[in-house]
Structure 1
Amino acid sequence: MSNRSKKTVRLTVSLDQKDYAAVAAVADQHDASLSWVIRQAIHNFVHRADVELQASRRISEATVIQDLKN
């Protein structure tokens, strides 16, 4: 069974031919659908952006604490 939530939202995306060909090649390599590849890419992008945001916040908080100590 899929890890995805049962509730989904439909999204339409336009790609240039080069990106479409790249996504299709990845889908072929993984014996997966284009939709699966796009969902994985979005999931990975959002996760990476969240990790970077959290790291940035920790750095900012550490800087504020250090400034308060000085």
Structure 2
Amino acid sequence: MSGSEKKSVRTSVILPEEAHARVQALADANDVSAAWVIRAAILRFLEEHGGQTELPLRLPRASRVAV
């Protein structure tokens, strides 16, 4: 690997069924993978909010997923 190549790391997430369906629909409509849509969304989110120390979003208590 040359110095200009960036290492990638595989991770997984659990999405609500409706969110998964919406991601898949976006992917299908744009001829890309669901992973591409999720990766693009995360990179955009980090670009916009990456310098912050607090998350710019709060989930309603009923929607929070136990970790």
Instruction: State the distance in 1 between where 2:6 and 2:28 align.
Output: 26
| Larger relative helix fraction | 1
- Tell me how far 1:7 sits from its aligned partner: 1.0
TM-score by length of 1: 0.61
Identify the residue that residue 10 of structure 2 maps to in structure 1.
10
Larger Rg: 1
CA RMSD of the aligned region, Å? 1.5
Give the 4+ runs in structure 1 shifted more than 4 A. Answer: none
Number of equivalent positions: 48
- Any unmatched runs of 5+ in structure 1? 54-70
Between the aligned residues of both structures, percent identity stands at 42
SS of the residue 2:19 aligns to: helix
